[in-house]
């Protein structure tokens, strides 16, 4: 069902339907890769072999993505307490890295062929590249609707989209060889394809890296989140804020919340108010909050991260008198003192 993440609509396919699409794409790319390698060797076309290598990487990427989709559905357990969802982000990073390696290799090979252009059989190149274009377009169409909601599938989609464009370029190059015997066109097109592949990979690889580095969600403004929490009645301040993505579309937060003396008497109410605001305004469904009384709060603590206060400040909470916490109307000083002693 469609739902909204920070203003963006996502349409989710049933897992089984998505798996079938990926499986079809795997078989199509496998058959195409074999045809292109055979045709490239027969025709002496580096561009066609380059396209075959790219298609092979597509097939490998599809296999990785298929396995990642399966693993990601496993529930959390004692080994992976956050669940297995990030395996899809790992798969996306692997696929983008593969694109970069292939792109660099093709630039090298294309440069060597430019120095000594080999003889290329143009008709073979055009026919097989035409077949490749059909398969690449089919695979891109299968993954188009899925890639909008998944880094993993987006990496696949870009693989196949770049392949489709590469096939068009190879067809043009083969035609020029047939008409004008422009053999230098084949390696030149190869280099052009490689540069485009590198552009796509470098433009997209930052997303998976950011997620795996526990970066804050790109579509959430941290300062707005902080101000929203500070705006809850009874909250004096917040610090040691951590915002990250548990999975691609699951934001999480933990932080220390400093409460006023009056707010300390309403911890549960304030906690519920903060969590509701985080979920409703920012789609942050997982939040861990640690509360501090304003009289015992860390001084000069960093807003973000978990920066260490001064060493003397680490023992700050033990030096303060428990009586500072005994301002709740429904707790006597004696009961409050007992509770404080139990926490020591």
> What does the pLDDT read at residue 156?
75
For residue 79, what are its two tokens?
Answer: 């080994």
Same topology between domain 3-212 and domain 222-343: no
> What does the pLDDT read at residue 17?
65
User: Over the chain, what HEC string results?
Assistant: CCEEECCEEECCCCHHHHHHHHHHHHHHHHHHHHHHHHHHHHHCCHHHHHHHHHHHHHHHHHHHHHHHHHHHCCCCCCCCCCCCCCHHHHHHHHHHHHHHHHHHHHHHHHHHHHHCCCCCCHHHHHHHHHHHHHHHHHHHHHHHHHHCCCHHHHHHHHHHHHHHHHHHHHHHHHHHHHHHCCCCHHHHHHHHHHHHHHHHHHHHCHHHHHHHCCCCCCCCCHHHHHHHHHCCCCEEEEEEEEEEEEECCEEEEEEEEEECHHHHCCHHHHHHHHHHHHHHHHCEEEEEEEEEECCCCCCCCCCECCCCCCHHHHCHHHHCCHHHHCCCCCCCHHHHHHHHHHHC
> What does the pLDDT read at residue 313?
45
Q: Residue 326 pLDDT > 70, yes or no? A: no
> What does the pLDDT read at residue 118?
64
Q: Residue 146 pLDDT > 60, yes or no? A: yes
> What does the pLDDT read at residue 163?
74
Q: How far apart are CA 229 and CA 238, in angstroms?
A: 8
Q: Residue 61 pLDDT > 80, yes or no? A: no
> What does the pLDDT read at residue 67?
87
pTM beyond 0.75, yes or no: no
Residues 6+ apart with CB under 8 A from 208: 89, 90, 92, 93, 96, 151
How far the first Cα of the chain sits from its last, in Å, is 50
> What does the pLDDT read at residue 206?
92
> Among all chains, which residue has been given the structure tokens 């985080």?
278
**Other C-beta atoms lying within 10 Å of the C-beta of residue 246:** 16
Own/partner pairs, 104-107, CB within 8 angstroms, 24+ separation: 104/194, 104/198, 105/53, 105/194, 106/50, 106/53, 106/54, 106/190, 106/191, 106/193, 106/194, 106/197, 107/191, 107/194, 107/195, 107/198
In the chain, the percentage of residues whose pLDDT exceeds 90 is 27
pLDDT, average across residues 231-258: 92
Task: Note whether 188 and 80 are within 8 A (CB).
Answer: no
Model confidence pLDDT, tens digit, residues 5-27 = 444 444 455 666 677 777 887 88
Give the fold, CATH level 3, of 3-212: Alpha-lytic protease prodomain-like (1.20.1510)
The arrangement of secondary structure in 222-343, i.e. its CATH architecture, is 2-Layer Sandwich (3.30)
- In the chain, where are the structural domains located? 3-212, 222-343
For residue 125, what are its two tokens?
Answer: 């190149």
Model confidence band, residue 56 (pLDDT cutoffs 50, 70, 90): confident
Model confidence pLDDT, tens digit, residues 170-224 = 788 778 878 887 778 878 887 888 898 899 889 989 999 999 999 999 889 999 9
For residue 297, what are its two tokens?
Answer: 């709060």
pLDDT, average across residues 218-246: 94
């Amino acid at each position: 069902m469609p739902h909204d993440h920070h203003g963006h609509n996502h349409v989710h396919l049933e897992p089984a339907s998505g798996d079938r699409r990926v499986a079809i794409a795997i078989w199509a790319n496998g058959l195409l890769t074999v045809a292109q390698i055979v045709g490239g060797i027969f025709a002496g076309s580096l561009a066609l072999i380059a396209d075959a290598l790219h298609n092979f990487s597509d097939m490998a990427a599809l296999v990785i993505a298929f396995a990642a989709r399966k693993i990601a559905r496993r529930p959390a357990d004692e080994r992976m307490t956050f669940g297995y969802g990030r395996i899809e982000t790992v798969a996306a990073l692997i696929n983008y890295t593969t694109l970069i390696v292939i792109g660099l290799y093709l630039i090298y090979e294309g440069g060597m062929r430019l120095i000594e252009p080999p003889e290329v059989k143009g008709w073979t190149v055009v026919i097989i590249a035409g077949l490749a274009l059909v398969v690449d377009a089919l695979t891109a169409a299968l993954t188009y609707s899925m890639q909008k909601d998944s880094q993993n599938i987006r990496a696949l989609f870009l693989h196949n989209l770049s392949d489709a464009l590469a096939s068009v370029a190879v067809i043009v190059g083969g035609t020029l060889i047939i008409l004008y015997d422009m053999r230098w066109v084949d390696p030149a097109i190869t280099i052009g394809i490689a540069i485009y592949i590198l552009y796509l990979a470098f433009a997209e690889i930052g997303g998976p890296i950011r997620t795996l580095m526990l970066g804050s969600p790109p579509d959430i403004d941290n300062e707005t989140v902080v101000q929203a929490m500070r705006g809850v009645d009874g909250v004096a301040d917040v610090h040691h804020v951590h915002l990250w993505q548990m999975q691609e579309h699951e934001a999480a937060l933990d932080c220390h919340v400093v409460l006023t003396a009056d707010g300390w008497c309403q911890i549960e109410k304030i906690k519920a108010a903060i969590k509701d605001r985080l979920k409703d305004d920012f789609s942050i469904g997982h939040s861990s909050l640690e509360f501090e009384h304003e009289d015992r709060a860390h001084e000069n603590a960093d807003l973000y991260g978990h920066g260490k206060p001064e060493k003397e400040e680490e023992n700050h909470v033990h030096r303060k008198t428990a009586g500072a916490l005994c301002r709740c109307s429904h707790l006597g000083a004696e009961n409050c003192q007992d509770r404080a002693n139990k926490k020591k």
